[in-house]
Homo-oligomer: A and B are copies of this chain.
Amino acid sequence: MKFQRLALIGCGLMGGSFALAMRQAGLVQHITGFSASEKTRQRALELGVIDQACSSVAEAVQGADLVLLAVPVGAMHSSFAALRDSLSASALLMDVGSTKCDVIAAAKASLGERLNCWVPAHPIAGKEVAGIEHAEGSLYQARRTILTPLPQNSIRQLKMASEVWTAIGSHVSQMTPEAHDATFAAVSHLPHLLAFAAVNALTAQPQGPAFMEMAGPGFRDFSRIAASDSSVWRDILSANRAEVRTQITHFRAALDQFEAALQSDNTDALQQLIQQASDVRSTWTLQAGNACSTASED
């Protein structure tokens, strides 16, 4: 497996790291890149992430046998539309979106007969800092990448997609788009939302800053993901809002149980609720392949 021409749409942390990894693995000959910001694509060129900076999606995609769409979830629709007419019928197109059902809807609405070129992908990787400056070829190593194949994908394409991520060190899993979005609403999107809300609840109180001065490592770890990028997470939470709201409902039910136990000072019920959480969390361990250092994309 070797690609003649990789087109990178979105020269940020995720896309830049993919390009570097592919180059380091010797899997690609030439890399074209497009970013909406001319400054960003020039920087990607200077850093040697791409070989050629293109001023349009169409120009970058022309003649590419591999295309990676590494733009925020909210920009997927317009990107699909912009690349459709330049995409070769035999090209492999992948994205790195953190939500899948909405990106699939966007692709169905805008990719036309090129829909079957696209294998939806979500590499569970990232960093607390964004941008091409922080791109590195090792970003996907020992990370999990989830593919949510379409019925239109060929076995050959799916195999190639899997091989690409494996070649750059990622552990590949497959899920349905629905299971993907439900899963990440539960274990990533809701925790982010709760951490954001917990910090905002502190800020809303006049004593908030004084409170936070006394906070220890429990607060530090619990709230770490609240420092995440607002445009990335606006897109994720908005795109997956139905599943996120379902998870909020489950969470509120669990919170209600605690509040009822506190209200009646039912210490047995309270201990039982805590014990249940403690037992589950104590026996949980991070699965190999899920490890990453991100606050923005996990």
A214: which B residues are within 8 A, CB to CB?
Answer: 124, 144, 146, 183-184, 187, 287, 290
A125 CB to closest chain B CB, in angstroms?
A: 9
| Alpha-carbon distance between A203 and B250 when the two chains are bound, in angstroms | 10
Do B219 and A274 have beta carbons less than 8 Å apart? no
- A252-281 vs B: 1/0 string, CB under 8 Å? 111101110011010100111111111011
Segment of A18-26, A32-40, A188-196 engaged in the interface with chain B: A188-196
| Alpha-carbon distance between A162 and B1 when the two chains are bound, in angstroms | 68
- Looking at the complex, which one of B210, B218, B290 makes contact with A225 (CB distance below 8 Å)? B218
A230: which B residues are within 8 A, CB to CB?
Answer: 271-272, 274-275, 278
Contacts A271-B230, A277-B195, A284-B212; A221 near B218 (Cβ below 8 A)? no
- Whether, in the assembled complex, A2 has its beta carbon less than 8 Å from a beta carbon of chain B, the answer is no
- Whether, in the assembled complex, A197 has its beta carbon less than 8 Å from a beta carbon of chain B, the answer is yes
Do A215 and B270 have beta carbons less than 8 Å apart? no
- Whether, in the assembled complex, A248 has its beta carbon less than 8 Å from a beta carbon of chain B, the answer is yes
- Whether, in the assembled complex, A172 has its beta carbon less than 8 Å from a beta carbon of chain B, the answer is no
- A217-233 vs B: 1/0 string, CB under 8 Å? 11111111111111101
Do B186 and A280 have beta carbons less than 8 Å apart? no
- Whether, in the assembled complex, A27 has its beta carbon less than 8 Å from a beta carbon of chain B, the answer is no
Contacts A200-B273, A255-B197; A245 near B219 (Cβ below 8 A)? no
Segment of A53-61, A107-115, A236-244 engaged in the interface with chain B: A236-244
- Whether, in the assembled complex, A155 has its beta carbon less than 8 Å from a beta carbon of chain B, the answer is no
Contacts A217-B293, A276-B200; A271 near B231 (Cβ below 8 A)? yes
A208 closest partner in B (C-beta) = B186
A41 CB to closest chain B CB, in angstroms?
A: 25
CB-based closest 5 A-B pairs: A216-B298, A187-B215, A196-B277, A234-B271, A230-B275
A-B contact pairs, 8 of them (CB 8 A): A124-B216, A186-B211, A188-B219, A191-B218, A196-B278, A214-B290, A226-B280, A238-B262
